[in-house]
Amino acid sequence: MQIFNEKQQNLAHRINEDTTLKNWKDWKWQLKHSVKSIDKFELVSGIKFPADYRKKLEETLEIFPLSVTPYYISLIDVDNYENDPVFKQSFADQRELITNSSEHSDPLAEDKDSPVEGITHRYPDRVLFHVSNICSMYCRHCTRKRKVGDVDFVPSKAQLEKGIEYIKNTPQVRDVLLSGGDPFMLSDSMLDWLLSEISQIEHVEVIRIGTRMPVVLPYRITDSLLEILKKYHPIWINTHFNHPREVTDSASEALAMLANAGIPLGNQSVLLADVNDCPRIMKKLVHDLVKNRVRPYYLYQCDLSEGLAHFRTPVGKGIEIMESLIGHTSGFAVPTYVIDAPGGGGKIPVMPNYIISWSTNKVILRNYEGVITTYQEPDSYEARACDRDCKNCDLDLKMQPSKEYAATGIEKLLSDYDDSISLIPEGNERYERRSDEDNG
C-alpha cells in the first residue's frame, strides 16, 4: 500500500527538504508542522492566492484561526482548489465574517446545559465531556467555532477531575462521550489515566470517543494508542468523514487498526453546501465507509453557529439525500438525519414521510419506489397496562422499580403510570388566564 505518494513527498519537501516517510507518518511531526498562516499555506500547498483576496482572508483569520495538517493539505486538488471539498473544509473563506441574527456563538446552549466545567448533560443517561479544547485541524464548519483556538489549552488533570467527579456523583450516567476539541489531542498517558478513571465508575457502561483524527491525521492511530484503548472496552468511536475524497489509503489503514482492536466505528457527517450536498456524493461516501467497517451514524443539518451561513443548505436537501438512500442501499449504510435543536433541545431526527394514512385497523404506507401498500393491524391485541412494577407482569425480565427510569416528554404522555395528558409550553397565555384551581 502506497502511503507516501509523490504529491505528499513534494509537499513534505517544501516543509523541510530532509523530511522522511517516517517523519511524515509521525503524528507529532504533522502537528508540529501544522499550517496556521496564509503564507505557510501557500508554501506548503503550492496554491497562490490573488492579493486582494488575501487581505480579506487575513481579516477572517483574526477571528477564526487556521490550522491544517500537512497530511490533510496533501488531499487538496491544487488545480481546482476553489471547488475542492478538502480545501473548503479546512481553509478560511471571507464569508465566515458574515453573521445573521439567527446565528449564535453557542447555538446548542452547551454552556447553559453544563453542570460543571467541561460537561454538557442534556440527555437523561449520557453526558458529553469536553476533554480538550484543540484539534489537529480547525474545521471551517465547526459548531464550536468561536471557542476554537482562543485558548490553546489542554485541560489539566485537576480540571478533568471536576468532570469525573460529576459523573461519579450522577448514577444515571451510563454512557460517557468524550469530545472536545479532539480527545486524541491528549497524550497517550493522559488518555490512559482518563479512561481508567471513567471506566472504574461502576454505573458507566460504555465510553465513546468523538474524533476526526482518522480523517485529518490518521497517523495518530498508533499501536500504542490501541494498546491503551483496548484495556477499556466497551469503547465506541465516532469519526467525521464528509466526502469520499477523505477516505484515503492512510485513512483506511487507521480505520482497520481501530476496527481490529474491537472498536465499533461510526461516522457523523455534516451536510455542507458545495461540499457534499449531493445524493451521489453521499451514497459514495456511505459505501466507502461501510467498506471500511464504519457505520454511518448521523448526518447533521449544519448548525446555526456564527459564520456558517455559506455552508448551510435547506433541510429539504437533507430529506432529498435521505430519500435517495433509504431502500436504495443497505440499511446499515443509511445514517439518521438530525437537526440539533437550536437552544439546546438535542438532536431531532427528520425523515421523508412513509406513513400515508391510517385507520383503526390499517396503516397505509409507501416505499422508496413509490409503491403504496397496506399493513393490516392485528384483530386482537391486548394492551398490557404498565405501572413500572414488574412483579405482576408476564414478560420475562423482572426489573426493580426505579426513579432513574421515570419517563419524560412524549414517552410520559404515552405511559399508563403517569396521569399527564399534555405538555404545556412555559408562558402559555391561555393557561395563565385560567384561575389557579383550573390549572393542571
Ligand X SMILES: *Cc1c(COP(=O)(O)O)cnc(C)c1O
Active site residues: 122-123, 126, 135, 139, 142, 144, 303, 340, 347
Our CB check for ligand X shows the closer of 254 and 338 to be 338
3-state secondary structure of 438: helix
Name which of 265, 282, 270, 235 is nearest 347 in CA terms. 270
* Residue 193 one-letter amino acid: W
Report whether 19 contacts 12 (CB < 8 A). yes
Q: Which residues pair with 358 in a beta bridge?
A: 363
Our CB check for ligand X shows the closer of 144 and 312 to be 144
- Applying CB under 6 A, the residues found at the interface with ligand X are 120, 122-123, 126, 128, 177, 347
What is the C-alpha separation between 292 and 294, in angstroms, rounded?
Answer: 6
What is the C-alpha separation between 108 and 336, in angstroms, rounded?
Answer: 19
Could you tell me the smallest distance in angstroms from the CB atom of residue 5 to ligand X? 35
For residue 426, count other CB atoms closer than 10 A to its CB.
5
Burial call 102-133: b when 16+ CB within 10 Å, e when fewer = ebbebbbbbeebbeeebbbbbbeebbbbbbbb
Could you tell me the smallest distance in angstroms from the CB atom of residue 42 to ligand X? 37
3-state secondary structure of 166: helix
- On the question of a cis peptide bond just before residue 183, with omega within 30 degrees of 0, the verdict is no
For residue 322, count other CB atoms closer than 10 A to its CB.
20
Q: Is 310 exposed, middle or buried (0-12, 13-18, 19+ CB in 10 A)?
A: middle
Report phi then psi at 328, rounded to 5.
-80, -20
Our CB check for ligand X shows the closer of 70 and 335 to be 335
**Running DSSP on this structure, what letter comes out for residue 170?**
-
Our CB check for ligand X shows the closer of 108 and 255 to be 108
**Running DSSP on this structure, what letter comes out for residue 374?**
E
Our CB check for ligand X shows the closer of 46 and 115 to be 115
What is the C-alpha separation between 198 and 229, in angstroms, rounded?
Answer: 13
Could you tell me the smallest distance in angstroms from the CB atom of residue 193 to ligand X? 23
Report whether 225 contacts 188 (CB < 8 A). yes
Could you tell me the smallest distance in angstroms from the CB atom of residue 126 to ligand X? 5
Report whether 373 contacts 362 (CB < 8 A). no
What is the C-alpha separation between 429 and 369, in angstroms, rounded?
Answer: 46
Our CB check for ligand X shows the closer of 90 and 179 to be 179
Could you tell me the smallest distance in angstroms from the CB atom of residue 436 to ligand X? 36
Could you tell me the smallest distance in angstroms from the CB atom of residue 29 to ligand X? 33
Helices H / strands E in the chain, number of each: 16, 12
Could you tell me the smallest distance in angstroms from the CB atom of residue 123 to ligand X? 5
3-state secondary structure of 151: coil
Our CB check for ligand X shows the closer of 92 and 139 to be 139
Report whether 253 contacts 261 (CB < 8 A). no
What is the C-alpha separation between 93 and 87, in angstroms, rounded?
Answer: 10
Our CB check for ligand X shows the closer of 297 and 368 to be 297
Our CB check for ligand X shows the closer of 35 and 131 to be 131
